[in-house]
Copies of this chain bind each other. A is one copy, B any other.
Amino acid sequence: MDTKTKMDRFFEPRSVAVIGASRHPKKIGHVIFRNFLEGKYNGRLFPINPNAETLFGIECHASVLDVKEAVDMAVITVPSEFVPETLEECGKKNVPAVIIISSGFREIGKIALENKLKAIAKKYGLRVIGTNCIGVYDPYSGVDTFFLPPYKLERPDKGSIAFISQSGALGSVVLDWMSMKDYTISKFISYGNATDVDESDLMEYLVTDDKTRVICAYFEGVNNGRKLFNIASRHSKTKPIIAIKGGVTSEGISAVSSHTGSLAGESDIYSAAFRQSGIIEAKTLEQVFDFARVLSTQPAPKGNKVQIITNGGGFGILTTDWIVKNQLKLARMTKKNRDVVRKACPSYASIKNPIDLTGDATVDRYAVAIQAALDDPNVDMIALITLFQIPTLTAEIVDVISEAARKSKKPIVVIAAGGRFTEVLKKSLEGNGVPCFSYPEKAAEALRALYEYGRAAGK
């Protein structure tokens, strides 16, 4: 079995053994087994526990070796001292993919114990994700090794953004947040101590994954920088890669060493390597997903000229400031197209950049202005401010924007801040592939990332 096929088993296993599955609700093995059983996963399930006959009515085995059928993936949750023996059994059983959730290895100085696992993995040709991780979440296959119940940690729906994170807690918290925002995902992998599978292996796998349009990563350290950056260089032009580095100050770097025991390395070196290999560096976690949403849904712009269309003057001004601060330019629409917009607007509307359709803007006025900007040769991107609170703006605006964005070859982003009513309309837009931002700075930063990616990728 080649390594690609083995890696596939992490995401689409036909059968899963949970080693350390338990009837005690506080045990990690209990929560993981139950998530498989009660979640969307449809394959065969084998609980492994020497002290139980059955679990949730399913026959329980003392060892994975006792399972008669083939096991595509094993999830190990037993205490660290029992992991080598358990992994050895997975090897003998020819389990191609093993996730080790258990901690208590390199991160607490037990390097010899971790090296033992490395040797076993090598001996049997196992692919191992972990140790000290929360594993894999795949909304398409229902694989879900998070040891947290869905009421505490929600899971995002099917999408096209992959996210890899060395830190399990960070990754899961971000997934929970994404879920609340209705952002979607293709695959999530927390790889912890990177005993076997590391960031390069995952990157190599994801660049050819059809379900993934954009790859996001949280790195603390990198196992093999040359390998990672080579892979990124080869693929970043066809598939955007966004990364955030934890440990960019000397204090942050020393915090990294107490966490996953990685060597964090100099942040300047990382930034340079990111840039050279076409990886887009995000400064904040929010930015990672702001960039990803735009890059996974919007075409690359032909240039850096942005037309702002607004129904609120103040938001138009702040957006103008942030567009300019992000080294983008304000578009100057042709007289012809400005006249088209002017005709559709009352005299007090301001048809410059921003186009201010004013506080009594209607859906029709927006439709005309959006079309004029799409038609205009001097406009590369559109930043659309829609303050949904305004009485004249009906919910129909969602259809008008979604339809325009669907047909458009220019990127369109929406800026809309507000409360629950606004959030509902924004989620409809997001569902139709239109990235929405609450505040101007976020939208402008995302447009800049899109512009720079397009330019670097020669689009």
**A residues at B contact (CB < 8 Å):** 26, 31, 103-104, 107-108, 147-148, 151-154, 165-174, 176-177, 179-180, 218, 220, 246-252, 255-256, 258-260, 283-286, 311-318, 320-321, 323-325, 330, 347-348, 350, 352, 354, 356, 359, 387-391, 417-423, 438-439, 441
A329's nearest neighbour on chain B, judged by CB, is B251
CB distance from A310 to the nearest CB of B (A): 9
B residues less than 8 Å from A260 (CB atoms): 313
CB within 8 Å for A314 and B166 given contacts A259-B356, A438-B177: yes
Residues from chain B with a CB closer than 8 A to the CB of A350 are: 258-259
> Which B residues are in CB contact (< 8 Å) with A177?
417-419, 422, 438
Q: How far is the CA of A269 from the CA of B195 in the complex (A)?
A: 56
Residues of chain B with a CB closer than 8 A to A247's CB: 317, 320-321
Are the C-beta atoms of B152 and A389 separated by less than 8 Å? yes
- Contact A321/B180 with A389-B153, A439-B284 known, Cβ cut-off 8 Å: no
| Assembled-state Cα–Cα distance A179/B420 (Å) | 9
Q: A218 vs B315: C-alpha distance in the bound complex, in angstroms?
A: 11
Provide the bound-state CA to CA distance between A165 and B314, in Å: 9
CB distance from A244 to the nearest CB of B (A): 8
Q: State whether A107 and B348 are in contact (beta carbons under 8 Å apart), knowing that A26-B391, A314-B165, A418-B173 are contacts in the complex.
A: yes
Q: Is the CB of A347 within 8 A of B108?
A: yes
Contacts A153-B389, A389-B172: A258 and B421 contacting too (C-beta < 8 A)? Answer: no
A315 CB contact (under 8 Å) in B26, B169, B318, B356: B169
